[in-house]
Amino acid sequence: MVTRDRQRRVTITDVAKHAQVSTTAVSKVLQNAYGVSEAMRAKVRAAIDELGYRPHNAARAMRGRTFTIGVLLPHIRNPFFADILDGLTEEISGSGYQAIMVQSGGRGPAAERRASDALVDRQVDGILWVAPLCSKSQLEKMAGDTPLVVLGRHDRSALYDCVLDDDEIGAALVVEHLIALGHRRIAHITDDVGGRSSVLLQTVRATTYERVMTEHGLAEHIAVAATSYTEEGGYEGTRELLARDPRPTAIFAGADQAAFGALAAIHEAGLTVPGDISVAGYDNARVVGFAHIALTSVDQDGALMGKTAGRLLLERIGGRTSAVRFSVTPTLVPRRSTAPPKTP
C-alpha cells in the first residue's frame, strides 16, 4: 500500500500562525465559545477564509464529536427511503451535522451487523437506523455507544427513540378497502427475510391482514406469499399467487416496491389492473402517485418521519436521555389500481 503524497491540508496550527494567535483561540472561534474578543474573532475568521481552512474531522472525532449522523438503510433502491432522507436532510441542514448513509441489507444479518459496526467505528454522533432486523439487545448495546433512533419497528426501549407508523391501522385500511370493494380472495405479499417477529413492521402488516380477513369471515381465502419487499419479491410472490386456483382478485403488497413487481407479473400474465386484479401497496412513496399506473397505497408521510427522526437525534445528541416514541397514523390513498372485482 503506497502512500500518496497528498498535498498537506491546512491545519489549525497554520491558521493560528497566520493570525498570530494560539490554536486555542482558533478552536474557540470555531466552537463559538465564550471568552473571545471581537477583534480576535475577526482576525481568526479572516485567516480561516484566507487559508481555506476546514477542520480535520478525524482529529475532532478523537476529542469527542464528528458532527456526523449515520443513516442505516436496508437499500437505497426503495424509493420510500428517499422520502425519509429528504425529511432528515431538511431537519439537520443548518445544524452543522452531516448525514452519511450506509446500506445494511441485501446480504443477511451479517451484512447488517457489518454496516452498523461501520458507523459505530466511525464514531458518528448519532444513528438513524431504518428497519433493523437484529435483536433488541443489539440495538440497546449500540444505543449505549451512540444516540440512536430506530425507524419502522414496533419496539419499545428506554435506551433509544422510535419513529414508526401504526402498521395495524394501515394494513387494516387496505384490507377493509378491498373488502368494501367486494373482494374476497385477497392475497398478501410479505417479507420474511428477517424472520417473523412481532416487532418487525412486515410481520405486523401480515398478521393484521390475517386478522382482518378472519374477522370478515374470509379466513379460508387467506393467501400469503412470503418473499421480500423488493421488485423481485413482488414479482415472484405474485407469480406464485397467480398460479393458485382460484387465483386472487386482489393483492395487498406489504410495500410499494413489491407492488411494482406485482404489477409486472400481472401484466406479464396477460391480466389487467384493476380489471382482473386489484393491487394495493404500502408506503405511498412519492413515485407511486406519479407512475402512470396510480397505485393505491397507505401514506405514512415518510418526510415527516425522517424530519422527526432528525429532530429526535439532535435532541439526543444534545443530551436528552429519556426515550421518545413517535407514531404516525397512516391514511389510505385510493388510486386507480384498486376497483371492484369483475365477477363477484
Helix (H) or strand (E) holding 253: strand 250-253
293 binds a copy of itself (CB under 8 A): yes
117 contacts: CB under 8 Å, gap ≥ 6 = none
CA angle, residues 268, 274, 277, in degrees to nearest 5 = 65
Q: Is 146 helix (H, G, I), strand (E, B) or coil?
A: coil
As a whole number of angstroms, the longest Cα–Cα distance in the chain is: 85
When CB distances are held under 5 to 8 angstroms depending on the partner's kind, the choice from DNA, a copy of itself, none that residue 158 binds is none
Q: Which residue has the cell 437484529?
A: 134
Contact of 172 with 204, CB cutoff 8 Å: no
Q: 146 touches which of DNA, a copy of itself, none (CB within 5 to 8 A by kind)? A: a copy of itself
Burial class from Cβ neighbours inside 10 Å (0-12, 13-18, 19+) for residue 259 reads buried
Least separation in angstroms between CB 33 and DNA: 7
Kindly tell me which of 70 and 194 has the beta carbon lying closer to a copy of itself.
70
Give the whole-angstrom CA distance, residue 24 versus residue 209.
61
Q: Pick the binder of a copy of itself from 74, 170, 261, 274 (CB under 8 A).
A: 261
- What nine digits make up the cell of 163? 419513529
Rounded CA-CA distance 269/273 in Å is 11
Q: Does 62 bind a copy of itself (CB under 8 A)?
A: yes
SS3 call for 114: helix
Stretch that binds DNA, among 17-25, 129-137, 209-217, 334-342 (CB under 7 A): 17-25
Strand 126-130 versus strand 68-73 pairing type? parallel
Count of residues engaged in binding a copy of itself, rule: CB under 8 A: 63
Residue 134 binds a copy of itself, judged by CB under 8 A: no
Query: Among residues 55, 106, 109, 334, which is the contact residue for DNA, using CB under 7 A?
Result: 55
Contact between 30 and DNA by CB under 7 A: the answer reads yes
For the CB of residue 58, give the shortest distance to a copy of itself in the complex, in Å. 3
* By CB under 7 A, residue 25 contacts DNA: yes
Q: Give the whole-angstrom CA distance, residue 139 versus residue 150.
A: 9
Q: Which of 39, 158, 180, 243 binds DNA (CB under 7 A)?
A: 39
33 binds a copy of itself (CB under 8 A): no
Out of 267, 275, 329, 342, which residue is the one contacting a copy of itself (CB under 8 A)? 267
Structural Rg of the chain based on CA atoms:
25
Q: Is 66 in the site for DNA (CB under 7 A)?
A: no
Does 38 sit near a copy of itself (CB under 8 A)?
no
**Binding-site partner at residue 211 among a copy of itself, DNA, none, CB < 5 to 8 Å by type:** none
Contacts (Cβ under 8 Å, ≥6 apart) of 293: 263, 273, 336, 337
Q: What residues make contact with a copy of itself under the rule CB under 8 A? A: 1-4, 6-7, 9, 54-59, 61-62, 64-66, 68, 75-77, 79, 81-82, 85, 89, 98-103, 114, 117-118, 120-123, 144-147, 231, 235, 260-261, 263-264, 266-267, 273, 286-287, 290-293, 317-319, 321
